[in-house]
Structure 1
Amino acid sequence: MRIFVTGASGWIGSAVTAELIEAGHRVVGLARSEESAAKIAALGAEVRRGHLDDLDALRAGADDSDGVVHLAYNHDFSRMADAAQTDAAAIAAIGDALAGTGRPFFIASGVAGLPGSPATEETAGPDFLPRMANANATLALAERGVRSGVLRFAPTVHGEGDHGFIAVLAGIAREKGVAAYVGDGAGRWPAVHVLDAARLVRLAVEQAAPGTIVHAVAEEGVPTREIAEAIGRGLDVPAKSIPAEEAAAHFGWIGPFFGMDSHVSSELTRKNLGWTPAEQGLIADLDAGFYAKS
């Protein structure tokens, strides 16, 4: 298949692009800059210049493809409403281009904020969270003849080179000289290795039925105390509990996330798509020193 991928030069997108190409698919990656274009070309993919606000470019990319994987998203937490609005417009444009074709269209979403213990693929995402409302709109495209689905990623997609949540926590620990966790540290943090996540995206594009939700979750919930202790080992700083009321002051914007208890299952995903995570877990990546680098 010829797959149009937005976010193809990003952390997850570059792994997905490489996985799709290795499996024999052709990838066209959306690039908003020369740097992104160079990264996409180096992976062996075709480059299409454009950005998420360029709806004509998105429609053209979708129309010229056998399927779309939409991974690009603005993760600036100070502009969450704007990011969700841009994403909604992009999803609508791509959906219009694919309507009636039966082609696959999968978008990135997340498991954070899902209710239940464990939250499953059948757990509905609340529409009051803008990104989940966009995910629900994508699922509804199945009624318009699109093999649409949602890729709910764990909050940490880890591996060497990850600059996400865990890297932020390591940076805070380095700055403050202590690797903190909230309360007793029993809160759970789902995780998946980036290579396992990329394989799952490929399987979804190849096999998943219309209206499918998949959970890119290899570990249902690593205790946050274990995460902090592993960060501490890597940086040679002590691990320490802090009260929940001090989390925001200590961690900043990431405090509310790290203080959550998020227990998420991927049992249905594994069963339906034959996905078996094979890479090492989050604590092993931490102990390998990937997050100890300044």
Structure 2
Amino acid sequence: MRVFVTGATGFVGSAVTRELLDAGHEVLGLARSDRSVEALKSAGAEVHRGDLNDLDSLRRGAEAADGVAHLAFIHDFTNLTSSGEADLRAIEAIGSVLEGTGKPFVVTSGLLTAPGRLGTEEDPADPDSPAKHRHASEFATLALAERGVRSAVLRLPPSVHGEGDIGFVPMFIDFARDKGVSAMVGDGSNHWAAVHRLDAARLFRLALEAAPAGVRLHAIGDEGVPFREIAETVGRGLGVPVASVAPEEAMDHFGWLGRFASIDMRASGTLTRKLLDWQPEHPALIPDLEAGHYFRTA
């Protein structure tokens, strides 16, 4: 299969690119910079120049492929509404090319289920979820299943971890290093679901190969790691104390990350595991933190 991959050189996308190539597929990777071009060439992938705002380039990439994995996203945390709108336009552009072809189209999403309970693949997107900026994109993806596209939504948890992580966990480590304390909100009893990037990459491949049209998939390794355990592990890794921050002070301590430090986002991947015979094989979040690579400095 020749797969057009957006976000092909990102933290998760580069793992998806490697997973597809190692499985014998061809990868046509979207590249918006010379650095991305070189990374794709080094990996053995083909290069397709363009970006998420160049809808014609997205259409051409989709036309040249047997399937599409959409992982690119503009992570502007100061204006996630705008980022979500750009994502929706990209999905609509790619989907317009794939209509009636039966080709697979796997679209990345966040956990769009209501916080405070165990979310499942059967849960529709909740407009009040922390990832509500992806709400319209998820509905647009699933709607393509009725227009001849083997479309699937693949939801990623708050932490997709592994060596080279650039997400929330290293951000919190940086906060702890700078402030000299590893903080949690309240008693840290809120949870984060998590998955190793290499396990997520394998799920993307399996979804492209075999997921039926119109399904929601959950890339979940840990159903819910108490944030207290994350804070304690970070504290040990940095040699700093662990402290509690009152909920009303979370934004003052963490800045915009305060909201993510406070959420209780648990999720199950049981249905996904059964559907695609997918089993996480790589370290869970806490053992990955304990391995030490998160605490190395240049």
Map 1:197-212 onto structure 2 (within 5 A). 197-212=200-215
What letter matches 2:109 in structure 1? S
* Equivalent-residue separation in structure 2 for 1:18 and 1:144 (angstroms): 30
The equivalent of 2:11 in structure 1 is 11
TM-score, length-scaled by structure 2: 0.96
1:256 aligns with 2:251: no
Question: Which of 157, 179, 196 is the aligned partner of 2:199?
Answer: 196
Judged with a 3 Å threshold, the aligned counterparts in structure 2 of structure 1 residues 132 and 212 are, in CA distance, closer, same or farther, namely same
The equivalent of 1:162 in structure 2 is 165
* Equivalent-residue separation in structure 2 for 1:119 and 1:113 (angstroms): 6
What letter matches 1:38 in structure 2? E
The runs of 4+ residues in structure 1 deviating greater than 6 Å are none
Percent identity reads: 55
Report if aligned partners of 1:115, 1:123 keep a CA contact under 8 Å in 2: no
Map 1:249-288 onto structure 2 (within 5 A). 249-288=252-291
Report if aligned partners of 1:189, 1:261 keep a CA contact under 8 Å in 2: yes
Report if aligned partners of 2:112, 2:135 keep a CA contact under 8 Å in 1: no
* Equivalent-residue separation in structure 2 for 1:126 and 1:221 (angstroms): 19
RMSD: 1.1
Map 1:44-193 onto structure 2 (within 5 A). 44-111=44-111, 114-115=114-115, 117-127=117-127, 129-193=132-196
What letter matches 1:10 in structure 2? G
- Secondary structure at the counterpart of residue 293 of structure 2: coil
Unaligned runs of 5+ residues in structure 2 are: none
* Equivalent-residue separation in structure 1 for 2:152 and 2:267 (angstroms): 18
Report if aligned partners of 1:114, 1:124 keep a CA contact under 8 Å in 2: no
* Equivalent-residue separation in structure 1 for 2:271 and 2:113 (angstroms): 19
Cα deviation code 1:14-73 (max 9, x no counterpart) = 000000000010000000000011111111100000111111111111011000000000
More divergent stretch after superposition (129-138 vs 208-217) = 129-138
TM-score, length-scaled by structure 1: 0.98
* Equivalent-residue separation in structure 2 for 1:22 and 1:160 (angstroms): 19
Unaligned runs of 5+ residues in structure 1 are: none
Map 1:200-239 onto structure 2 (within 5 A). 200-239=203-242
Report if aligned partners of 1:221, 1:262 keep a CA contact under 8 Å in 2: yes
More divergent stretch after superposition (82-91 vs 98-107) = 82-91
Judged with a 3 Å threshold, the aligned counterparts in structure 2 of structure 1 residues 89 and 61 are, in CA distance, closer, same or farther, namely same
The equivalent of 2:31 in structure 1 is 31
Question: Which of 291, 294, 297 is the aligned partner of 1:291?
Answer: 294
Shift of 1:115: 4.7
Shift of 1:130: 2.9
What letter matches 1:238 in structure 2? P
- Secondary structure at the counterpart of residue 109 of structure 1: strand
Shift of 1:243: 1.0
Cα deviation code 1:47-100 (max 9, x no counterpart) = 000111111111111011000000000111112122111111111110000000
- Secondary structure at the counterpart of residue 231 of structure 1: helix
* Equivalent-residue separation in structure 2 for 1:253 and 1:204 (angstroms): 33
